[in-house]
C-alpha cells in the first residue's frame, strides 16, 4: 500500500496511470464477478438488457478514463504551477484528491442505484 501511495505521489505520469489502471482493472473484475452470478441465475434473461448493460459499461469505462486523465493533468499542472509554495500546492492537491474521492463515491452510488433498477 505504501508503494502505491509513493508511486502516485512521486511517480511519472505513466507510472501513476499504470497504478490507477491496475486499481480500475481489479474493481472491474470484482464487478464482473458479482454481476456474472446475477446473469447466470436469471431465468428470464433478455439479450436486449445485456446489450444495454454492455453499452452503459463501456460508456462508464470511457468516462472513468476521462476523469482519471483530467485528474492526472490537473495534478501535474498544480504541481508545476505551485512548485515554489509547498503549502498551497499540498492544500490544492488535497482538495483535488477529496473531489476525486467524492466523485468516486457519487458514481459508485449511482451505479448501485442503476443496477438495482434494471430488471433482467
The DSSP-derived string for 20-56 is HHHHHHHHHHHHHHHHHHHHHH-SS--HHHHHHHHHH
**pLDDT string in tens for the chain (120-residue length):** 667 777 777 878 788 888 888 888 877 777 776 666 556 655 566 667 677 777 777 787 788 788 888 888 888 888 888 888 888 888 888 888 888 888 888 888 887 787 777 665
The tally of CA atoms less than 13 A away on the side-chain side of residue 101 is: 6
Given this model, what pLDDT does residue 37 score? Answer: 58
What number of other Cβ atoms are within 10 A of residue 21's Cβ? Answer: 12
Q: Which three cell numbers stand for residue 7?
A: 508511486
What are the boundaries of each domain within the chain? Answer: 2-117
Q: Which three cell numbers stand for residue 14?
A: 505513466
Given this model, what pLDDT does residue 43 score? Answer: 56
Amino acid at each position: 500500500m505504501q508503494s502505491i501511495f509513493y508511486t502516485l505521489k512521486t511517480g511519472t505520469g505513466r507510472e501513476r496511470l499504470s497504478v490507477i489502471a491496475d486499481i480500475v482493472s481489479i474493481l472491474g473484475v470484482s464487478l464482473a464477478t458479482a454481476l456474472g452470478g446475477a446473469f447466470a441465475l436469471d431465468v428470464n434473461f433478455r439479450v436486449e438488457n445485456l446489450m444495454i448493460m454492455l453499452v452503459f459499461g463501456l460508456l462508464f469505462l470511457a468516462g472513468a478514463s476521462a476523469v482519471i486523465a483530467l485528474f492526472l493533468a490537473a495534478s501535474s499542472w498544480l504541481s508545476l504551477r505551485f512548485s515554489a509554495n509547498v503549502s498551497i500546492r499540498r492544500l490544492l492537491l488535497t482538495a483535488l484528491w477529496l473531489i476525486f474521492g467524492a466523485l468516486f463515491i457519487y458514481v459508485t452510488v449511482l451505479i448501485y442505484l442503476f443496477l438495482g433498477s434494471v430488471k433482467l
